[in-house]
Amino acid sequence: MNSRNLLILTIVIAFNFISAQFLSIQGVLRNEDGSTVEDGVKSFRFTVYDAESGGNEVWQEIKDQMQITNGVYTHTLGSIEDFSDADPAFDYSQEYWLAIKIDNGPELTPRTKLTMTPTSNSVVAGTNNVFPSDGNVGVGTTSPGKKLDVRGSAAVESLYFSGDDNNGSADIQFKASQYGDGIYMGGGGETVIASGEFADIYRTYDSDPETENLILGSDKGMVFFVSDNDYANKINALSISDLGLTSINNGLRTQYTNKFSAYKSNETSTWNWMEPSGSGDWMRTWMAPSGWAIKDNGGDNRIIIKDNGNVGIGADTTPDAKLDVQGDLQVDGFIKNADGENQWRLVKIEEFNDASHGWTHNGTNANAMTTCNSNQIFGGYNQISGSGERMNYTWTPPSGTSHVKVVMDIYAIDSWDAEWMWLELYNNIKGAVGVFSQQHAHDWAASYSGLQNSACGSASYNDRVYRAEVSARYDGSGAMKLVVSNNLGGDPTDESIGIDNVEIWVR
């Protein structure tokens, strides 16, 4: 590869005072025939010299694993080695060149000249200011957080907010005008907020007041224009009659009552009605000294907050706890105790009612389910027997999980003779971190075995259901795996194993 194989698209470096920041570069690697190099990973060495050729090495950085995609590489100089480590330190009065070496090849030539753009460190009236050629401008601060960051008072004749593309009429204007002080929102005089005596004299300057949607006056009065096609309603003052109220207890209603309405019935309680347009279903908020509530159109509580801090959800007027829910409660996060520790939360139940459970086994009929004591189980009679046949399930706990617990029913079916069952929980599929084991013999007393003869298999033997439980810490990475195994030595028609009612808990 020679110097013609490298194209650096843009290189501009900016320094804040004498300390450097970062420099983003992007290049394209091409073969001698002009085609881009194949995708892959290469080692890049970036070196800054004080001369176009020869000269002294001032700074160097090595990127060992540079990804090349469609011939393009991108890197941020200074992300590995600080520019402040340059020896000697970078000097604005000097010129610098960047050289690049790829893998074990020679440095590519010619070197690329770096444009040094020092950030201004001027002082105006005792205040530090920053005026870079690109980036944020600071007035009164050397660390601007926005495109223009002014710390202190600013005098502006007119200020326009015209949207992201800066095209068209201003959405918001703050300006001095023929009316005196003014704020225009919406552009074109659609909204005006004034001060001083503007409310008294605005007609002198306004040739077509019917075009305004809203005009707010000053300390001597307020003027509203509410327009809808050819209809306009004007309110000249904040009086009871002008607002269309018969008394203060009647509250405030808009012209379009299917949008919003507020009503105050007395001095001890207040109702606010809200109705989505055309829905016909009102909802109201209710406030009183005893608490605050949201009620439905029939007046029944939906949410209530009592003055003692208790919150009720559902048709409950007196919640008995800090949170009292009348109905189902779904929690996607964790419930914590007073010490901030996560509590156990049941996140998955599997009763094997259909085939969408995600479990697998390699028994007589792979992944088959059977019926035991009128209940469908996974595996079971004539399906799983022997150390080579197992039931497996892989599952990823939700974010924030630190511990996992699994509880399930394990069925020992037919002629077990002091043989073993195991439930193992693997963290990140790296090794068993939680194990349950149980021995079983078919000739144990029926009262102990728990299931009558022929409940699952042969009528000659007592079956047994064991409630197995295993738990383990979770390191937060990858999936966890459940394995149910056994050391049965007989044919699956003689002795077998199955599972049901699996619960997975996390905290």
Question: Which of helix, strand or coil describes residue 117?
Answer: strand
pLDDT in tens, 136-176: 888 888 788 888 888 888 776 666 655 555 555 555 555 55
Q: Are residues 502 and 370 in the same domain?
A: yes
More confident residue, 469 or 30: 469
Instruction: Single out the residue of 179, 180, 200, 183 nearest to residue 192, CA to CA.
Output: 183
Q: What percent of the chain has pLDDT over 90?
A: 32
Predicted pLDDT at 368: 96
Q: Are residues 426 and 491 in the same domain?
A: yes
Q: Are residues 382 and 422 in the same domain?
A: yes
Based on the structure, what is the number of domains in the chain? 4
Let me know if residue 127 belongs to a domain: no
pLDDT in tens, 50-100: 999 999 999 999 999 999 998 899 998 888 998 888 888 887 678 889 999
Let me know if residue 338 belongs to a domain: no
**Most confident option among 100-109, 272-281, 305-314:** 100-109
Helices (runs of H) and strands (runs of E) counted in the chain:
2, 38
Q: Are residues 254 and 229 in the same domain?
A: no
pTM (2 d.p.): 0.45
Q: Which of 68, 98, 118 is the last residue of a domain?
A: 118
**Most confident option among 83-87, 198-202, 221-225:** 83-87
Q: Are residues 41 and 86 in the same domain?
A: yes
Q: Are residues 222 and 356 in the same domain?
A: no
Average pLDDT over residues 322-350: 86
Q: Are residues 85 and 180 in the same domain?
A: no
In this structure, of 82-91, 248-257, 479-488, the range with the lowest mean pLDDT score is: 248-257
Q: Domain span at residue 387? A: 348-506
Predicted pLDDT at 32: 83
Let me know if residue 243 belongs to a domain: no
Longest pairwise C-alpha distance within the chain: 107
Average pLDDT over residues 97-113: 91
Q: 403: which strand partners?
A: 473
369: CATH: 2.60.120.260
99: CATH: 2.60.40.1930
Q: Is 286 exposed, middle or buried (0-12, 13-18, 19+ CB in 10 A)?
A: middle
Predicted pLDDT at 92: 67
Q: Are residues 227 and 254 in the same domain?
A: no
In this structure, of 217-221, 353-357, 435-439, 488-492, the range with the lowest mean pLDDT score is: 217-221
What does the alpha-carbon distance between residue 469 and residue 27 come to, in Å, rounded to a whole number? Answer: 58
DSSP H or E run through 446: helix 446-449
Q: Are residues 255 and 225 in the same domain?
A: no
Let me know if residue 343 belongs to a domain: no
Q: Are residues 187 and 312 in the same domain?
A: no
Question: Which of helix, strand or coil describes residue 250?
Answer: helix
Predicted pLDDT at 114: 80
Q: How many CA atoms lie within 13 A of 214 on its CB side?
A: 8
Predicted pLDDT at 62: 96
Let me know if residue 333 belongs to a domain: no
Q: Which long-range contacts (CB under 8 A, 24 or more apart) does 352-355 make?
A: 352/376, 352/377, 352/378, 352/500
Q: Are residues 80 and 199 in the same domain?
A: no
DSSP H or E run through 406: strand 403-414
Let me know if residue 253 belongs to a domain: yes
Residue 165 amino acid letter: D
Let me know if residue 148 belongs to a domain: no
Q: What percent of the chain has pLDDT over 70?
A: 62
Q: How confident is the model at residue 340 (pLDDT cuts 50, 70, 90)?
A: confident
Average pLDDT over residues 386-392: 94
Average pLDDT over residues 93-112: 89
Let me know if residue 227 belongs to a domain: yes
Confidence check: pLDDT of 17 > 80: no
Question: Which of helix, strand or coil describes residue 205?
Answer: helix
Predicted pLDDT at 191: 57
* DSSP-H helix ranges across 345-456: 446-449
Question: Beta strand 480-486 with 417-426: parallel, antiparallel or unpaired?
Answer: antiparallel
Q: Are residues 389 and 461 in the same domain?
A: yes
